[in-house]
Amino acid sequence: MSKYNTIIWDMDGTLLDTLDDLTDSVNAAMTEFHLPVRTRDEIRSFIGNGINRLLGLSIPGGKQNPQFEEILSFFKICYAKNSSNKTKPYIGLDKVLPELKSGGYRMAIVSNKIDTAVKALSEQFFKNLMDAAIGNSENLRRKPSPDEVFEALRILGAEKESAVYIGDTEVDIETAKNAGIDCISVSWGYRDRQELLAHGARAIVDTPEELVELLK
């Protein structure tokens, strides 16, 4: 029997492949402000710690660029309109998530993506599967702070000793550590196995099916 009854999921790179939509929206902003566009691989490496960091790394001069806030605002508007054009769940999750839900697991999403986008994407792709969906807002410090994880545990009525955090980046590993809960890293997202190991990953799975086996 599993030691866990609660699963907290990261969203981008863990549940959803959002890379193409994020790349398109970043480059729409770059083009609008006559800046060089970024490659898909560059955007992949920038993802993991919220849109401020994503744009800060994408824009020449970063947050010191005098147009940073204007570019960020343009990106937010663009992404809000196009956040699900190409976004899709990773292969295998369509079977694994209902299996975990029917197995009695309580599940939540915790993401550094804007809260409204997290809730909208959760409703679109994971309706009736997630018990909570929490994104970045003014009320909670973003990951790697444990605040969003603690809020998810509160909503789910769960204890951290019986919860596991599942994510694809070093930010997720640090978040779980700060929250005092176990972490399982996935290699199908925006960091490969070697990068995850370099950041202290203790358990790594390569497929959703392998994750189910590890949770047993």
What number of other Cβ atoms are within 10 A of residue 83's Cβ?
21
pLDDT tens profile 80-100: 999 999 999 999 999 999 999
Ordered domains of the chain (ranges, CATH): 6-17+87-215 (3.40.50.1000), 19-82 (1.10.150.240)
Global pTM reads 0.94
Cβ neighbourhood burial of 51 (10 Å; 0-12, 13-18, 19+): buried
Cβ neighbourhood burial of 161 (10 Å; 0-12, 13-18, 19+): exposed
Question: What residues contact residue 98 under an 8 Å CB cut-off, 6+ apart?
Answer: 129
pLDDT tens profile 167-198: 999 999 999 999 999 999 999 999 999 999 99
What number of other Cβ atoms are within 10 A of residue 78's Cβ?
18
Whether residue 183 contacts residue 167, with contact meaning beta carbons closer than 8 Å, is answered with: yes
- At 1 the pLDDT is 59
- At 216 the pLDDT is 87
